[in-house]
Amino acid sequence: ATPTAIMVGTGNGARAGILVRNAAALERAEKIRTLLVDKTGTLTEGKPAVIDIVPVGVATESELLRLAATLEKGSQHPLAHAILTKAGEHGLELPPLGNFQSISGKGVSGVIAEKICHLGSPALMLELGMTPDDALLQHMQAQGKTVVCVAQGSNLLGYLAIADRLRASSPRAVARLQAMGIEVVMLTGDNRATAQAIADQAGIRNYCAEVLPRDKAEEVEKLKARGTLVGMVGDGINDAPALAAADISFAIGAGSDVAIEAADITLMRNDLNSVADAISLSRATLGKIR
Ligand code: ADP
Ligand code: MG
For residue 185, the cross-strand partners are 36, 206
Mean pLDDT, the chain, whole residue set: 92
User: pLDDT at position 40, please?
Assistant: 87
Q: Whose CA is nearest to atom 21 of ligand 1?
A: 107
- Lowest mean pLDDT of 38-47, 89-98, 223-232, 254-263, name the range: 254-263
Q: What are the tens digits of pLDDT across the range 127-136?
A: 999 999 999 9
Instruction: Name the residue range of residue 236's domain.
Output: 3-45+166-287
Q: Would you call 235 a catalytic residue per the annotation?
A: no
> Is the CB of 256 inside a 6 Å radius of any atom of ligand 1?
no
Nearest CA among 96, 104, 113 for reference residue 152: 113
Residue 45 DSSP SS3: coil
Same domain, 244 and 274: yes
163, 186, 212 - which closes a domain: 163
> Is the CB of 75 inside a 6 Å radius of any atom of ligand 1?
yes
Same domain, 34 and 73: no
- With the most atoms of ligand 1 within 8 angstroms of its CB, the residue from 75, 77, 160 to mutate is 77
> Is the CB of 193 inside a 6 Å radius of any atom of ligand 1?
no
Does residue 105 surpass a pLDDT of 50? yes
pTM for the model stands at: 0.83
Number of domains in the chain: 2
123, 140, 163 - which closes a domain: 163
> Is the CB of 82 inside a 6 Å radius of any atom of ligand 1?
no
Compute, in angstroms, the gap from residue 290 CA to the centroid of ligand 2: 39
Same domain, 238 and 198: yes
Q: Given pLDDT bands bounded at 50, 70 and 90, which one contains residue 290?
A: very low
Q: ipTM above 0.90?
A: yes
Same domain, 40 and 172: yes
Alpha-carbon torsion angle 141, 142, 145, 146, nearest 10: 30
> What is the rounded distance in angstroms from the CA atom of residue 237 to the CA atom of residue 241?
10
> What is the rounded distance in angstroms from the CA atom of residue 151 to the CA atom of residue 157?
5
Average pLDDT over residues 16-43: 91
Amino acid at 157: L
